[in-house]
Amino acid sequence: MKPKVVTIGLGYIGLPTSALISSKGTYVLGVDINQKVVDKINMGEIHIAEPDLDKIVSHSVSQGFFRASLKPKSADVYLIVVPTPFKNNYEPDISFVEDATKSIIPLLKENDLYIIESTSPVGTTEKMAKLIFDSRPELREKIHIAYCPERVLPGNIIYELVNNDRVIGGLDKISTEAAIKFYKKFVKGKLHPTNARTAEMCKLVENSSRDVQIAFANELSIICDQAKVNVWELISLANMHPRVNILNPGCGVGGHCIAVDPYFLISEFPNESQIIGKSRQINNYKSEWCEKKIFEEKEKFLLNNNRNPVIALLGLTFKPNIDDIRESPALKIARQIEKNKQRDIEILYVDPNIQSIEGLKLSKLNYAINKSDIIIFLVAHDQFKNLKIENSKIIVDFCNVNQYG
């Protein structure tokens, strides 16, 4: 059977998207460069942790509506859902989008729809259109090209893929309309038409906006520490104002989106992205600041007790109640502390959501709580709430595990 849709990239977004479309009875061919991923999916299994996804994939594969392959085939719709990491100098790397596009150029025919979903710098869709038309000039104005970012939250992807509103920006009006018609088949949320550049920027701005707001909260937490004001109490009181909504400070900002996407704007508009650039710096600095605070607590303990403390660091993931450590500020802090610790000091690392982690020996929660003199909360996992901790222990809470809110 000839596929109707080809998705390039079977990761956190490409796989659920393929599964969802194929579950509606449309034949989808998913393409990935990783043979193991391809084999697993063709057995009806999945390689990522996401609730309900396994059932949908196994059903679609068994019904013959979803197959995976290393190579694309001719279809009517092509979805580019590959990663866009950044290079060492924080410049976005769109080579995966380019490679994916090149792989389907020979397959394109009149009336096909080509959509990029990967988070991309402004102008990427236009660049890819140029790439396509440079080698297939006869397709100019004969195919539809659009950009449509995803906005889903890992852990709730299937629900959000269906129910979130989406922004859809074509290179021309007919492309936008063609893309809207396509998404209507499986999205219940509203589909908002715009142009490709605005859609590209919208995704970057959504995550940058969150980064800026978190930076404000993180800056407040540092000011409050100096001012001897409890930042959590302060924020909960300020948020009682009907038009104020301050987010939560933490030990930094991690994950694969919010700590990354702002750089796509900063690198392209370095002089203009003042507040966005500063916010990235503040959020990165917050992790260093936490590390410094932990060191100060250790020194204080040594002075008062004439011995080094045992320190427990609680939480290593990039946010609470997940097992994802990508760009995790808590893990960055833990690794720095492990690297710089003196030989005669014992640090216990705890994360109940993680089995093992390279380069760090993990301890059980209860053991660490009993054994340590100083307990540092880096991530507010539910398992850390309402712990019974002896009064004699020193607690440093960077993430408001228990106090306010």
**Residues binding ligand SAJ (CB under 6 A):** 151-153, 206-207, 210, 214, 247-248, 250, 253-255, 257-258, 318-319
Tell the smallest beta-carbon distance from residue 81 to ligand SAJ (Å): 11
Comparison of 118 and 176: residue with beta carbon closer to ligand SAJ: 118
Q: Closest residue to ligand SAJ, Cβ-based?
A: 257
Tell the smallest beta-carbon distance from residue 389 to ligand SAJ (Å): 23
- Is 203 labeled as catalytic in the residue annotation? yes
Tell the smallest beta-carbon distance from residue 165 to ligand SAJ (Å): 12
Tell the smallest beta-carbon distance from residue 214 to ligand SAJ (Å): 4
- Cα dihedral sign, 240-246-252-253: positive
Comparison of 70 and 153: residue with beta carbon closer to ligand SAJ: 153
How many Å separate Cα 300 from the centre of its chain?
Answer: 37
- Is 224 labeled as catalytic in the residue annotation? no
Comparison of 146 and 257: residue with beta carbon closer to ligand SAJ: 257
Give the 3-state secondary structure percentages of the chain, helix then strand then coil, rounded to 5. Answer: 45, 15, 45
Task: Tokens for 149, please give them.
Answer: 């970012």
Strand 144-147 to 113-116 pairing: parallel
Strand 191-195 to 310-314 pairing: unpaired
Rounded to whole angstroms, the Cα distance separating 334 from 316 reads: 8
Comparison of 151 and 278: residue with beta carbon closer to ligand SAJ: 151
Tell the smallest beta-carbon distance from residue 155 to ligand SAJ (Å): 8
Tell the smallest beta-carbon distance from residue 157 to ligand SAJ (Å): 9
Tell the smallest beta-carbon distance from residue 332 to ligand SAJ (Å): 11
Q: Which of 235, 200, 191 minimizes the C-alpha distance to 405?
A: 235
Comparison of 74 and 164: residue with beta carbon closer to ligand SAJ: 164
Q: Which of 203, 298, 319, 332 is catalytic?
A: 203
**Residue entry with tokens 């219940």:** 188
Q: Is 83 exposed, middle or buried (0-12, 13-18, 19+ CB in 10 A)?
A: middle
Q: DSSP code of 339? A: H
Q: Which of 148, 257, 290, 399 is catalytic?
A: 257
Rounded to whole angstroms, the Cα distance separating 140 from 134 reads: 9
Neighbouring C-beta atoms of residue 137, cutoff 10 Å = 8
Comparison of 43 and 153: residue with beta carbon closer to ligand SAJ: 153
Rg of the chain, C-alpha, whole Å: 24
Comparison of 10 and 152: residue with beta carbon closer to ligand SAJ: 152
Rounded to whole angstroms, the Cα distance separating 315 from 211 reads: 21
What is the DSSP secondary-structure string of 147-195? E----PPTTSHHHHHHHS-EEEEESSHHHHHHHHHHHHTT--S-EEEEE
- Active-site residue set: 203, 257
